[in-house]
Structure formats: C-alpha cells, structure tokens
Amino acid sequence: MPVNLPTNLLRSFVAIVDTGSMLNASEQVFVTQSALSLQIKRLEELVQQSLFLREGRRLHLTAAGEVLLDYARRVLSLHDEAVAAVSAGRFAGPARIGMVQDFADSLLSGLLSRFAELHPDAQIYARVAGTAELQALLDRRELDILLGFAAPNDGSAVTVAPMSWYGTAELVDRDTIPLAVLEEPCRFREAAIRALEDMGLQWRIAVETPNLATLRAAVAAGLGITARTHLFQDDMTVLEHERLPTLPRVAAILRTSDKLDRAAHRLAELARETVTGL
C-alpha cells in the first residue's frame, strides 16, 4: 500500500524550515509547539526517516529532510492551486494582516469588515504593532500583508502625508517643551526630537507609552505635544505655532509576502484601495 502524507504534516514541516524554529512555526500554522512536535514525529514515522538534526536550539535538515522539502513544497503548491481552482471564489484563509495602530481604528472597522462581508468563508488574522515588528513577522512569513510607515521615498509607499504637531499651544511656550511619544522604535518620536534639536529647542519626554489610545489621551489632557499624521485623531486640531519646526513627510506603506493565496491577495487589494483613500 502506498504511504499517504497528510498535507497538514507537510505544511508544518515546511513552516519549521522557513521560520527556523518550532516556536515561530507554531505561530504560523496555528498549533502548539507540542502538537507540532507530534506532527513531525508522525511524518518521520510515515517516511521512516529522520528529518531534522538538533544542535542546541537550532534545527538542521537531514539528507532525507532536504529531499522531502522540495517535494513538500511542490505538493502544497499543487494542493493549494487545486483548492483555489474548485473553490470558485470561496476563500479558506487565514489571510494574515498586520498594521500600525494609526490604521487600526479605520481599517479594523472598515477594511476587514468589508472583506468579511465580501468573503464570509475567509478567515482573518490581524496583528497591530509597530512597523519594525510587523516587518520582522513578514520576513518570517508569519504575515501576508503589512501596513505601516516608512520614509517618503520608500518603494512600497501607497501614499505620502505630512507629519504635524498636535497638542496644547501653551506647552510650546515653555522653556522645555514636554513631549508625548510612543515607545521606541517610532518614526514620529525620532522626527519630533530631531526637529526640536535642530532648532535648538529644549525638550523632555513627559509621557511615553506603547499604546496610541493612551498617547491621544495624554495629548488631549495637555500633558505633552506629539507628532503624528492626520490619521492621529479626526477631532484633534493640528497645532500651529511659530516656535515649532517643520516636520518631515512620511509614507504609508503596503508590503506583502512573495506568495499570496487568493484570499490574502484580495485583502491586499482592498487594503491598498483603503489606504489610498485615507
């Protein structure tokens, strides 16, 4: 009798190779590390070969693993192509999208709800974090789509917008200007500090937070001024003060993995349309 290799085992095997560890792979295929270990053990039993060699925390493919990897990729590619061909527009997902906090309010209620209405069978995984963290996840193939910020000349730019100051005008007249900022790394934090220092203005960090909602509250309460884009808050007026320096422009970027299934590809198209219209 021929041996049948379940596609979920092959997908987990490829995920381990692509991400470099059991931990990263478990997040990509949505199973626990213990379940992933059992899947690999089962796959090794089916092919009657060891697939990995462990050196400390690092995993290396055996000769048999190298051979299987090429076939596994081809099998999964053909499998996914077959599913797409017979699904007639029905998506299975999950489509994995990551976005910075500035986009979350408008996109979670707009883009993702629209996608869910158009494709109710699709699964969506959404991650909100800083651009640097999201890029790392994209590089590890744990995300399909990234929406973040970068320099205005970035090749992934969808739209470019000016940075502006937000906050209470009287704070700018102080000898030392209080700032409200997100934790590092943050492009807006760096731009605000650099602009103030270039003008020879004294500053101090009055509020530092990982959360954009807390940053908004701090600015609204008059605890500090901050630099963001017009996405910061619709009802908050841009702070214009002759003492404040001009801030640089920033690009809203959309990056995707090199291989998107039909669900993720459609979500990327909708994301581009949405961000362009912001």
Q: What is the pLDDT of residues 223-232, one digit of tens each?
A: 999 999 887 6
pLDDT of residue 28: 74
* Average pLDDT score over residue span 198-213: 91
Residue 139 maps to a domain = yes
Residue 64 maps to a domain = yes
Whether residue 122 has pLDDT greater than 80: no
Do 19 and 119 fall within a single domain? no
Residue 210 maps to a domain = yes
Query: Does a cis peptide bond (omega within 30 degrees of 0) precede residue 120?
Result: no
The encoded tokens of residue 203 equal: 């500053």
Do 82 and 132 fall within a single domain? no
30: left (phi over 0), alpha (psi -120 to 50) or beta: left
CATH of the domain at 52: 1.10.10.10
- How far apart, in whole angstroms, are the C-alpha atoms of residue 171 and residue 5? 66
Do 82 and 15 fall within a single domain? yes
Residue 1 maps to a domain = no
pLDDT digits (tens, 9 = 90+) for 3-60: 788 888 998 899 899 888 888 887 777 777 888 888 899 999 999 999 998 877 678 8
pLDDT of residue 76: 86
Residue environment code for 132-152, b if the CB has 16+ CB neighbours within 10 A, otherwise e: eebbebbebbbbbbbbbbbee
Q: Is the pTM of this model over 0.85?
A: no
- How far apart, in whole angstroms, are the C-alpha atoms of residue 230 and residue 275? 13
What is the number of structural domains in the chain? 3
- How far apart, in whole angstroms, are the C-alpha atoms of residue 36 and residue 229? 42
- How far apart, in whole angstroms, are the C-alpha atoms of residue 160 and residue 253? 9
pLDDT digits (tens, 9 = 90+) for 59-104: 889 999 999 999 999 898 888 767 666 655 555 557 888 888 888 7
Domain hosting 220: range is: 164-247
More confident of the two residues 187 and 79:
187
Among 57, 87, 117, where does a domain finish? Answer: 87
Do 77 and 113 fall within a single domain? no
- How far apart, in whole angstroms, are the C-alpha atoms of residue 214 and residue 207? 9
